[in-house]
Structure 1
Amino acid sequence: MTTRHPTLPPRPQQQIRALVVDDSAAQRQLISAVLLRMGFDVVALPDPGQALHYCMTEEGAQVQIILSDWQMPVMDGPDFCKAFRSMVRDDYVYFILMTSETDRCAKARALEAGADDFVTRPIDIAELRARLLTGRRILDMQEDLQHRNHEVKTTLDDLMRINAEMSRDLDEARKLQRAFIPDSTWRIGRSELSLQLVTSGQIGGDLVGYFPISDTEIGLYSIDVSGHGVASALLTGRLAGLFSFSSRRSNIAFLDNGRDVHSPEEVMSRLNEFMLREMDSDIYFTAVLAYVDLRSGHLTFSQAGHPHPLVRRADGSVERIGRGGPPVGLLPEAEFDCITIRLNPGDAFLAYSDGMTECTDTWGDMLEEEGLMDLLAGIPEDTEAAVASLEQAVNAHSGINDFEDDISMLLFRFGGPESARRGIAAG
């Protein structure tokens, strides 16, 4: 794609064009001679009317310095200066008035009209040269500033274009990232499962999902990749592939026979080895991986630096489970453990990212684990409605604040052994 830049400012002229305006032919000749010896390109005119008309022409647009007499018929120097300043020009013109005027109020009027400097009559050639050199330095600085401004504008235009392209790419990446996540709601007999992912930016580093293990067992995972942005999102995509919903050969949880699975803590160890071996990066992630037996309600899980899962019992009480464990991808030969709990019909299991508990309100106070447990105690029975209510409550807690981190959650409600008789559809 061709990048279009704004038109460059005009290249520096070899000579600065000066316009001399004086109703005295002798004075015009004298001033012009001085200017020519100093290397200026000189145009001399007898009255302001002709000068204004000349400045509106293409040739007159090249004028950069004007020396004007103060006392002239029809229009004096200050009025000529004011009329000239009202003209629309892209560049700046240095305006010098030649005068014998000593009244401070008169000079103040001339400055208000737009004059830059004065030369006292009778003309002292040394003073005139000094005033002109000052004007030329100011014009040089003005030209340098114009070119620098152009460079800044060009750079900003390029950055805006790149940002727009990046924004479009990130929007597409977000769509792809959403495609990594299985259907947000899944019902298996009386048991049901709902997922939610809210990214703090265009793309995020959180991942939640599930995969069928057998007709009577399901795998659940919640992952939070360190950092934000493209690198984290790319890793979530890679991890989503490692927990493939549809391909057991691609799913890191399955053995080579495609039927049996590694235990959750063995899967964490395999992921840790994969991260340290394949990823030349400082990125790591926290995770919870759980297997649920849909007949007995036994839930076996491994926790790797992730927030403690919560279990809401059918009577409304909430329990914190898990022993923590190290994150994945930080320590060689890290050891992960495994815990088994029993879900009774009506019990719900919640795995979530720390974006929920670390969500702050307008006072900077976090929701924290206790606040989430209170919210979980009052959720409705339907998991989809329950996840929506939790998201709404976290939004209410944050108030006008934007989420500083991604928020993700996975809520599984055990419905009883009827699930096993109906089986699990593999999509």
Structure 2
Amino acid sequence: MSLVVADANEKAAVSLCEQLEHLGIEAISASDLKLAQSICAHAEPQMVVCCSYDWAEQLAGAHRRIPIVLARPEAPDAQLLTQALRSGLADVWTLPMTDELVRQRVNDTFERYASAATQAERRLSQYVADLQRDQRAGRYIQMGMLPPNPMAIDRYRIQHRIVPSLMLSGDFVDYFRITDRHFVVYVADVSGHGASSAFVTVLLKNFSRRLRREYRPTMLSRPGEILEWINRELLEQNIDKHVAMILAVVDVQADRAAVVNAGHFPPVIRVRGSGAQFVEQKGKPLGLFDAVDYEPEVLDLGSGESLVIFSDGVLEAYPDESLAQKETRLLEAARAAGSIDGVWNALGLDAEVDVPDDMTCLILRLES
């Protein structure tokens, strides 16, 4: 074991160190507070004995895991003992002490701290287990909110994949009929990660259900009105989150998709034959601004064409590439849009990849 004796009186510090060494306890002296703090920060001694209450109090506040003992030549009164307890000191010694008493007090302090550390570790392990169980339950619920995968709506086939960076995801997709002739499809990327972002996806799923019941006919040709509605809802909730989203309303009779973009990057990719290109659009993220406007890009789709949407987490899987290289990679992968597996393989993401953000891909394909 290793101890530090912190005392401005170098002679007294050396004397106590010699007594500890005689007991087989390795000890070093620190003649000023700055040196004692440095030793605690870098060497992590098993105990510090201070002869100054101010030093002991500062060290106890900065190094909670190290027992800090106050050693004084005068016996402590009740007030000092109370202050020491409140400051987090491990013990108060009255010097000088016999070798037997020093050994006993040192061992008692170590045993108390070891027991406390064991209990803390046990509580932490239980807390982590409870948290993981809750997150697994949350993940199960979140997966249950997602639409069938794949899903066919008339001649359209829709499939998706979400790979969360944590157990819960801030990415979300949904697609559903809104009339006999129209269906809605969207990809949403909630700011942040984890449980707080996942909570917003619950709001989005609730909005999907409301949209089916409360949509206005004008929204079918002007889907920007849907985004404006979501934007108002998020602002009214007054949550510290915003959402990037690509949303399309598809007319299955005219084979026409009206696409709007609320600050989502990368934009939707249109795949025709062997070619793929981004559909560049502008728009503010949802939940940040009162005044928003979203102009739709109307795409007439032909048999075999696909629309592919990635979340920006896919870009972060390639930290060493430039943005231009990443965009080229997405376009090349989108050409394999016959299946999600094909796209993932083309991206080199068929194996597990540690990424700092959720990764999502959605493919909407008009079958021949």
TM-score by length of 2: 0.68
Specify the alignment match of 1:272 in structure 2: 231
Specify the alignment match of 1:87 in structure 2: none
Higher-Rg member (1/2) = 1
Runs of 4+ in 1 over 3 A off after TM superposition: 259-262, 363-367, 397-401
Q: Structure 1: which amino acid aligns with 2:243?
A: F
2:310 matches 1:358: no
Q: Which runs of 5+ in 2 are unaligned?
A: 1-22, 24-94
Instruction: Name the stretch that deviates more: 291-300 or 161-170.
Output: 291-300
Structure 1 segment 135-174 matched on structure 2, within 5 A: 135-174=100-139
Specify the alignment match of 1:183 in structure 2: 148
Deviation at 1:400, TM superposition (A): 6.9
Deviation at 1:220, TM superposition (A): 0.5
Q: How many residues are treated as equivalent by the alignment? A: 273
The structure 1 residue matched to 2:365, chosen from 413, 417, 422, is 413
Deviation at 1:287, TM superposition (A): 0.4
Does the Cα contact within 8 Å between 1:360 and 1:398 map onto a contact in 2? no
2:269 matches 1:310: yes
2:207 matches 1:242: yes
2:286 matches 1:328: yes
Q: 1:182 to 1:221 in 2, by over 3 A?
A: same
For the residue of structure 2 that corresponds to 1:193, the secondary structure is strand
The structure 2 residue matched to 1:225, chosen from 163, 177, 190, is 190
Deviation at 1:145, TM superposition (A): 2.2
For the residue of structure 1 that corresponds to 2:334, the secondary structure is helix
**CA shift digits 1:8-39 (9 cap, x unpaired):** xxxxxxxxxxxxxxxxxxxxxxxxxxxxxxxx
**CA shift digits 1:64-101 (9 cap, x unpaired):** xx9xxxxxxxxxxxxxxxxxxxxxxxxxxxxxxxxxxx
2:215 matches 1:255: yes
For the residue of structure 2 that corresponds to 1:287, the secondary structure is strand
Cα separation, 2, equivalents of 1:131 and 1:290: 81
Q: 1:216 to 1:293 in 2, by over 3 A?
A: same
Give % identity: 22
Cα separation, 1, equivalents of 2:221 and 2:276: 29
Deviation at 1:260, TM superposition (A): 6.8
Does the Cα contact within 8 Å between 2:243 and 2:287 map onto a contact in 1? yes
Cα separation, 2, equivalents of 1:412 and 1:398: 20
Specify the alignment match of 2:42 in structure 1: none
For the residue of structure 2 that corresponds to 1:251, the secondary structure is helix
Cα separation, 2, equivalents of 1:270 and 1:324: 18
2:346 matches 1:404: no
Q: Structure 1: which amino acid aligns with 2:290?
A: P
Deviation at 1:330, TM superposition (A): 1.3
Does the Cα contact within 8 Å between 1:353 and 1:409 map onto a contact in 2? yes
TM-score by length of 1: 0.59
Q: Which runs of 5+ in 1 are unaligned?
A: 1-65, 67-129, 245-249, 417-427
Does the Cα contact within 8 Å between 1:253 and 1:261 map onto a contact in 2? no
Q: 1:184 to 1:374 in 2, by over 3 A?
A: same
| CA RMSD of superposed structures (Å) | 2.7
Does the Cα contact within 8 Å between 1:352 and 1:410 map onto a contact in 2? yes
Cα separation, 2, equivalents of 1:293 and 1:256: 15
Specify the alignment match of 2:344 in structure 1: 391
**CA shift digits 1:97-153 (9 cap, x unpaired):** xxxxxxxxxxxxxxxxxxxxxxxxxxxxxxxxx996244224212211221222222
Deviation at 1:230, TM superposition (A): 0.8
Cα separation, 2, equivalents of 1:303 and 1:323: 6
Deviation at 1:352, TM superposition (A): 2.0
Deviation at 1:156, TM superposition (A): 1.6
Deviation at 1:399, TM superposition (A): 6.7
Cα separation, 2, equivalents of 1:365 and 1:143: 60
